[in-house]
Amino acid sequence: MKKIATALLSVWLLATAATLQSCDNDDDDYYIYPYARPTAIVTVKPNADNSSFYLQVDDSTTFIPTNMKVSPFGNKEVRALVNCTPTENPTAHQGQTVTINWIDSILTKPTVANLAEKNDSAYGNDPVEIVNSFETVAEDGYLTLRFRTRWASGRPHRVNLVHRTDVNTPYLLQFYHDAAPESAAGPVADGLVAFRLDSTFNEPDTTINITLQWNSYSGTKTHTFKYKPRKD
């Protein structure tokens, strides 16, 4: 199987990725347009023994794969980029049946502990930009972010998300980035990461506003997401 070019931090480096993992064949062919681009960002949801799985596209849309029986990521729930095409095969399940052309997981991790005034020293406060794209979204229990920064070869970057319960703003999440000093002169590239939101965000029965805060190259920035709490 073709693998995505290894990225620092194991995040999906959108600017440098040359190949993607194919899960419906094992040959050495590269995908060409229109299969080169992802058609959706999804949550991969296997059952307990990974004897079946489905893809959650958004709060109300599911995809049922017809050409893959089990998740290529085992019984772990992860966020992933997928290129798929609709099928006309009938199904007993609710959801659109699809053929998966390729699927590749992205870094999926929980939020980390809020250390208040020690957050910067623990998690880093290096500048980063959040990219306004379809990958940057709050849905299905996750905040998924496409971010842009400068990269230094051979030095992993760390990214973390903290629920700031020590401030007056409700549902405030702060994105932290720890880069190498030499990254300041490195090339610009994008990364992709998904954070599983804690249970606090899923307790309400109505849509809530989530505020994301980060240290950009031009100072502190914020963005508000509309989020529908996940109900499993």
The tens digit of pLDDT for each residue in 141-155 reads 999 999 999 987 767
* pLDDT band for position 124 (cuts 50, 70, 90): very high
**Selected residue with higher pLDDT from 164 and 3:** 164
Comparing CA positions, the residue from 37, 107, 42, 44 lying closest to residue 73 is: 44
Residue 230 has a pLDDT of 95
For the chain, percent of residues with pLDDT exceeding 90: 70
Residue 19 has a pLDDT of 26
For the chain, percent of residues with pLDDT exceeding 70: 82
Residue 180 has a pLDDT of 74
Q: What is the mean pLDDT of the chain?
A: 84
* pLDDT band for position 10 (cuts 50, 70, 90): very low
Residue 104 has a pLDDT of 97
Residue 232 has a pLDDT of 79
184: left (phi over 0), alpha (psi -120 to 50) or beta: alpha
Residue 185 has a pLDDT of 77
- Report whether 178 contacts 161 (CB < 8 A): no
Residue 27 has a pLDDT of 34
Comparing CA positions, the residue from 62, 112, 106, 60 lying closest to residue 84 is: 62
Q: How many CB atoms lie within 10 A of CB 66?
A: 14
Residue 186 has a pLDDT of 83
In the predicted model, what is the mean pLDDT of residues 193-203? 97
Q: Please report the domains of the chain, with CATH numbers, ordered by start residue.
A: 8-105 (2.40.50.500), 108-227 (2.60.40.2370)
Residue 26 has a pLDDT of 31
Helices (H), the chain: 119-123
Comparing CA positions, the residue from 219, 120, 129, 222 lying closest to residue 171 is: 222
3-7, 9-13, 86-90, 123-127: least confident range: 3-7
The tens digit of pLDDT for each residue in 184-195 reads 778 899 999 999
The tens digit of pLDDT for each residue in 19-78 reads 222 233 333 333 345 567 899 999 999 999 999 999 999 988 999 999 999 999 999 999
